[in-house]
Amino acid sequence: MTTSRIEIFQQMLANDPVNSSILFGLAKEYEKAGLNEDLIATLERYLELSEDEGNAYGMLARAYERVNRTEAAKDAYRRGAEVALAHGHPSMAEEYRLILATDHEG
């Protein structure tokens, strides 16, 4: 039996539990596999440990949307827009604001 990429990242994380690069890599693998709850938990942990420039917030918001956690998705998009703008990514910030304005009105 071959070891999956998820298992490899999980093993790496077991050896280095606060490594933000490993957490982000694991999150990407969960995203590819459609494991939204694992993705959410991993991204929340990643965001507690590292300073993201906006991308992880968008990933998190989309995962929240897929599990029907609309308010959490809105919060992630808002925070992502703030962080993206602060790190010089105005187009990402605008993308998140547009999503909030069009998909989450009311």
Q: Is 80 within 8 Å of 42 (Cβ atoms)?
A: no
Domain residue ranges in the chain: 1-50, 52-106
What was the pLDDT predicted at 1? 56
pTM of the model: 0.90
Q: What is the average per-residue pLDDT within 25-50?
A: 97
Burial of 83 (0-12, 13-18, 19+ CB in 10 A): buried
In this structure, is the dihedral angle defined by the CA atoms of residues 3, 22, 89 and 59, taken in order, positive or negative? positive
What is the tens place of the pLDDT at every residue in 71-101?
999 999 999 999 999 999 999 999 999 999 9
What was the pLDDT predicted at 74? 97
